[in-house]
């Protein structure tokens, strides 16, 4: 599902990813850990085609990313299959919760309105927010907004989900409600790459833990070995 070969990315002449390889991630939950500035976000952004890179290559959900500019068509197809949830939820403030979740399936996949609506409601129920469908995002707590962001990403039925520190902008009291949703996805077999400092979550969920330090894979293995 995910293969990264010797990925190298420079910024201002310095390597922020230095020959990073991940092999044989065939499903499961890969947790990225490591100190701030180690390259975790950059790696996730490369996996979703948000960044170009100078060396190596990526295969993800059947898509191939190589050195040089990515084609618009390629990115369009990639992002149907690879969903991303950010630290800041980035919901559309002027749309209801339901419309946030329906938007991409309607606009990108051309799913008919009624079907998109019923799927979006199912997803909101799955993240425990069915009763908030008509609300504006700003009226929800941070934890609730992040769960909407997860539902919105799932609405595209991605083969891989990427999470970049999904709970680090939240009050600690809201962390578990979001991690529980991500844990449920893991149990349902969703392939995921999760950047998190929550070692408890990593120990429960991770099939593979990868530690990135200064742009290199310092260690990788099972959670019990690494954490």
In the complex, the smallest distance separating the C-beta of residue 40 from ligand ADP, rounded to whole angstroms, is: 3
- Candidates 7, 25, 42, 154; binder of ligand ADP (CB under 6 A) is 42
Tallying the residues shown for the chain, one arrives at 227
Per rule CB under 6 A, is residue 36 in the interface with ligand ADP?
A: yes
By the rule CB under 6 A, 208 interacts with ligand ADP:
no
Closer by beta carbon to Mg ion, 87 or else 96: 87
- Please answer whether residues 107 and 165 qualify as being in contact, where contact means their C-beta atoms are separated by less than 8 angstroms: no
Cβ neighbors of 111 (< 8 A, separation 6 or more) are 105, 119
Residue of 37, 62, 200, 221 that binds ligand ADP (CB under 6 A) = 37
Q: What is the DSSP letter of 199?
A: H
CB of 16 to ligand ADP, least distance (A): 4
What is the number of alpha carbons within 13 Å of residue 77 lying toward its C-beta?
Answer: 10
- Which tokens belong to 198? 């929550």
Binds 42, which of Mg ion, ligand ADP, none (CB < 5 to 8 A, cut-off by type)?
ligand ADP
Q: Which of 22, 32, 41, 162 binds Mg ion (CB under 5 A)?
A: 41
State which of residues 7, 18, 29, 40 lies at the interface with ligand ADP (CB under 6 A): 40
Q: With b meaning 16 or more CB within 10 Å and e meaning fewer, what string describes 194-207?
A: bbbebeebbeebbb
Contact at 8 Å (CB) between 120 and 102? yes
Q: Which stretch binds ligand ADP (CB under 6 A): 30-38, 64-72, 77-85, 139-147?
A: 30-38
3-state secondary structure of 213: strand
Query: Which residues touch 214 (CB under 8 Å, ≥6 apart)?
Result: 18, 37, 38, 39
62 near ligand ADP, judged by CB under 6 A: no
Total residues interacting with ligand ADP, rule: CB under 6 A? 9
- The span of 35-43, 57-65, 122-130, 218-226 binding Mg ion (CB under 5 A) equals 35-43
């Amino acid at each position: 599902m995910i293969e990264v070969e010797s990925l190298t990315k420079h910024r201002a002449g310095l390597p922020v990813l230095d020959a990073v390889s991940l092999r044989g991630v065939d499903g499961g939950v890969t947790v990225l850990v490591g100190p701030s500035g180690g390259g975790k976000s950059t790696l996730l952004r490369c996996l979703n085609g948000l960044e170009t890179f100078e060396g190596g290559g990526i295969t993800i959900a059947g898509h191939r990313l190589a050195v040089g500019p990515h084609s618009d068509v390629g990115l369009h197809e990639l992002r149907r299959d690879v969903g991303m949830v950010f630290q800041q939820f980035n919901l559309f403030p002027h749309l209801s919760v339901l419309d946030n979740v329906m938007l991409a399936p309607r606009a990108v996949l051309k799913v008919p309105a009624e079907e998109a609506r019923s799927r979006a409601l199912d997803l909101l129920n799955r993240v425990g927010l069915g009763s908030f469908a008509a609300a504006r995002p700003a009226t929800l707590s941070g934890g609730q907004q992040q769960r909407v962001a997860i539902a919105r990403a799932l609405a595209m039925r991605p083969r891989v989900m990427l999470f970049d520190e999904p709970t680090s902008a939240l009050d600690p009291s809201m962390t578990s409600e979001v991690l529980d949703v991500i844990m449920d996805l893991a149990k349902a077999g969703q392939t995921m790459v999760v950047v998190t400092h929550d070692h408890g979550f990593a120990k429960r969920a991770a099939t593979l833990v990868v530690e990135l330090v200064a742009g290199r894979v310092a260690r990788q293995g099972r959670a019990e070995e690494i954490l």
